[in-house]
Amino acid sequence: MANPISKDDLKDAYSRWATGVTIVTARAGDRILGMTVSAFTEVSLDPPLVLVCADKSSNTHELIAESQAFAVHILRRDQEALSNLFASKKDEHRRFEGLDYQTGSTGAPLLPGVIATLDCRVRDAHDAGDHIIYVGEVVGLELGDSGDAGAGDPLVFYDRKYASLTK
């Protein structure tokens, strides 16, 4: 019989996978929340589908489930502070204080100044251990201005810290 795999070993293995960093936002009524997410990927071009994985214990997950919508923001390399703000569970209800944002067609908050924003309606939700996998149909898309400094350079996470791509 194989030895059980520990959570620490899994975290060590997963940390060796470089990922982009996103913020996923949602709105339900007057409540708006968001969370930093590295478990994001494209699924299909036709129809346009993406997926995000949300921890079942996150408050943002509850808003996605209620509103059946979310927005994904692909962060620039100079947006570590924004990523950290949305990653911390402390003062989760205050993350949007002082932040500018627009409202997408789904009702989800859209943060400015990111590489790209995908406004999505939930198409499917799948129970997956301690997470829910949300498949979203992209109904709105905004690309950052390529003339902005660093607009094309993504924020990357590797080995439990932010990293840079080398060109």
Query: Which domains are seen in the chain, by residue range?
Result: 20-146 (2.30.110.10)
Dihedral angle sign, alpha carbons of residues 109, 50, 125, 75: negative
The mean of the pLDDT values for the chain is 89
| pLDDT classification of 88: cutoffs 50, 70, 90 | confident
The 10s digit of each residue's pLDDT in 34-85 is 999 989 999 999 999 999 999 998 889 999 999 999 999 999 999 999 999 9
**Which position has the higher pLDDT, 83 or 2?**
83
| pLDDT classification of 11: cutoffs 50, 70, 90 | confident
Give the whole-angstrom CA distance, residue 127 versus residue 68. Answer: 15
At 146 the pLDDT is 57
In the numeric block, the tokens 């080995």 are attached to: 159
Give the whole-angstrom CA distance, residue 140 versus residue 106. Answer: 9
Give percent of the chain with pLDDT exceeding 90. 65
Residue at 6: amino acid letter? S
Please say if the pLDDT value at position 149 is more than 70. no
Distance, first Cα to last Cα, the chain: 45
